[in-house]
Structure 1
Amino acid sequence: MTGATRAGGSRRRLPRLRVKLRELYHGRTPAAVRFRLGIIGLDFLLIGFFIAAPFLRKYPVYLYVDYMVAFVLAVDIAARAMAFSGFWTWIRKPSVWVDLFVLVTLLFPLWLFNLAFLRVLKLWSLFHGDFFWETIGRRYDETRWEDVTKAVATMVTFVFVATGFVYTSFAGEHPGIAGYLDALYFTVMTLTTTGFGDITLTGVWGRLLTIVIMISGITLFVRLAQTLIRPYKVRFTCPACGLMRHDADAVHCKACGTLLNIPNDEP
């Protein structure tokens, strides 16, 4: 077999691979849904590893697991890129940049040790991405649980990111923060404005970080409360202007006034 023949075979196999990946990542067949559920389950395992990483770094096997996770994430990113119809549209997605940043921290764990806590941003990108909701969450018309889940995911992500900042900045230097659990305790205490006072960050950086955590905590709790008490909306695309969310009993689109025909279960 000549080199030209092998090159031609490779060029023919690549489009078939892209079609197969596009079917798996964006299709609606039972096999595609099962595949995406497996990917989402894998994402949860990765997030669990990222959260547990501060407690696992002392074990020699940690680096091997880290590089294995990097390989799995790299394969997933490459497959998603091939499955997407337009590369430049795909690369502009915030969730893609989060995944690429996480991959870099996994490939260079010793050099980027102080940035490893930002890997938990994967939790935010998972619940704010269409991949999760088109597979699991959007089986119903109402959007309340989607908004609540996104608000909770944002709050949990912020807790672990803030904990990482406290841990990398003050562990070993502040007498009250001897380990990751102390940093998590301080973050939750400050976030909820409990103010026990047993751990107080001193210095300009410590005070600024405490202020940011308190203000962000109040904002995130207010956001969560809003999603819980405000009326839910249904997902129905307006045929005229494309508005996707409407009140459950809406007759006309509030953006353009077009008559709507939102289906419901009432007789």
Structure 2
Amino acid sequence: MSSMPPCDAPDAPGSLRDRLRQLYHGRSPASLRFQLATTVIDIVIIAFFIATPLIRDRPAFLWIDYTVAAILAAEIVTRMLAASNIPRLLRQPTMLLDLVILATLLVPSMLENLGFLRILRLWTLSQRGVIWQQWRRTRFRDREDAARAVINLTTFLFVVTGFIYSFFFTGRPGIEGYVDAFYFTVTTMTTTGFGDITLPGTAGKLTSIAVMIVGISLFVRLAQAIFRPAKVSYPCPRCGLQRHEPDAVHCKACGQILCIPDPN
């Protein structure tokens, strides 16, 4: 009796890895649907991270926390299976961050003060190429820089809010303490400084200085992205210049004829 060829085995490890690679990195309709579905799941998880300080005392919190941990662990495992070089994947900042986030989900009582790092997953989400590939097909494609700047500013805002809430407002549980931390972060980032809420001690002053410096830089970056002439991402086939005017016919660096797709 002839045996089934190895390539026809439905559970062959190689076929599973190839399928996962195609789903994570492919451009077929099925791959894009998979990547968009994982993006939607990530957005829901990020919403949970943002709301964590408000629902931490709820009876169902630990159930949700461990469910999110299971989803994140499954995603990490599938990414490792889809990777061609696992050691290199584990050295990437996004993977290291996800491992830290997973640890805070598995032992929330011990790593509670590091919970604010979970919001950085919003930044890792913004690094996915599939999001910007779909964005460039819309009529807002020339506002990609502004969208990236908004994501960076939003990520910084909520990360700092979580940090300040964890280390300076632990005595004000629930929504009151979180709103105070959020209010302080916004007034400090905008350098409004009403003075009704301040952080105590030298550590508080240094934190305020860091928030002001970084916050102003992000606001300036956002203003530049909004008000400077809009450009789209389209690499020149000759010189590799990445950014061009939406209606450009020739590359301004080398004169190469461009064929920038028009989503309209």
Fold conserved between structures, TM > 0.5? yes
Report percent identity of matched pairs: 48
Q: Which moved more, 1:165-174 or 1:137-146?
A: 137-146
In the TM superposition, 1:235-254 aligns within 5 A as 235-248=233-246, 250=248, 253=251
Q: Which amino acid aligns with 1:71?
A: A
Residues 147 and 263 (structure 1), Cα distance of their counterparts in 2 relative to 1, 3 Å cut? closer
Q: Which moved more, 1:202-211 or 1:115-124?
A: 202-211
Alignment correspondent of 1:52: 51
Distance of 1:93 and 1:206 partners within structure 2:
32
Is this contact kept in 2: 1:148–1:227, CA < 8 A? yes
Residues 79 and 141 (structure 1), Cα distance of their counterparts in 2 relative to 1, 3 Å cut? farther
Deviation at residue 17 of structure 1 after TM alignment: 0.7
SS at match of 1:243: coil
Alignment correspondent of 1:75: 74
Q: Which amino acid aligns with 1:224?
A: L
Alignment correspondent of 1:182: 180
Distance of 2:51 and 2:102 partners within structure 1:
17
Distance of 2:92 and 2:29 partners within structure 1:
27
Deviation at residue 181 of structure 1 after TM alignment: 1.6
Residues 132 and 104 (structure 1), Cα distance of their counterparts in 2 relative to 1, 3 Å cut? farther
Residues 203 and 40 (structure 1), Cα distance of their counterparts in 2 relative to 1, 3 Å cut? same
Distance of 2:188 and 2:96 partners within structure 1:
30
Q: Which amino acid aligns with 1:122?
A: R
Is this contact kept in 2: 1:24–1:35, CA < 8 A? yes
Residues 131 and 94 (structure 1), Cα distance of their counterparts in 2 relative to 1, 3 Å cut? farther
SS at match of 1:48: helix
In the TM superposition, 1:138-217 aligns within 5 A as 138-139=136-137, 144-172=142-170, 179-217=177-215
Q: Which moved more, 1:229-238 or 1:199-208?
A: 229-238
Q: Which amino acid aligns with 2:146?
A: V
Distance of 1:117 and 1:185 partners within structure 2:
16
Q: Which amino acid aligns with 2:49?
A: F
Is this contact kept in 1: 2:251–2:258, CA < 8 A? no
Residues 10 and 68 (structure 1), Cα distance of their counterparts in 2 relative to 1, 3 Å cut? farther
Distance of 1:10 and 1:244 partners within structure 2:
44
Distance of 1:92 and 1:110 partners within structure 2:
27
Residues 225 and 199 (structure 1), Cα distance of their counterparts in 2 relative to 1, 3 Å cut? same
Q: CA RMSD in A?
A: 2.9
Unpaired runs of 5+ residues, structure 2, are 1-6
Q: Which amino acid aligns with 1:124?
A: W
Deviation at residue 229 of structure 1 after TM alignment: 1.4
Alignment correspondent of 2:4: none
Residues 197-242 of structure 1: per-residue CA shift (max 9 Å, x gap): 2112232111111111122221111000011112222333233343
Q: Does 2:246 match 1:259? A: no
Q: Which moved more, 1:44-53 or 1:139-148?
A: 139-148
Deviation at residue 46 of structure 1 after TM alignment: 0.3
Q: Which amino acid aligns with 1:79?
A: T
Residues 127-182 of structure 1: per-residue CA shift (max 9 Å, x gap): 13324324x323259853221121111111111111122112222469xx962221
Alignment correspondent of 2:17: 18
Is this contact kept in 2: 1:128–1:150, CA < 8 A? no
Q: Which amino acid aligns with 1:223?
A: R
Distance of 2:85 and 2:202 partners within structure 1:
46
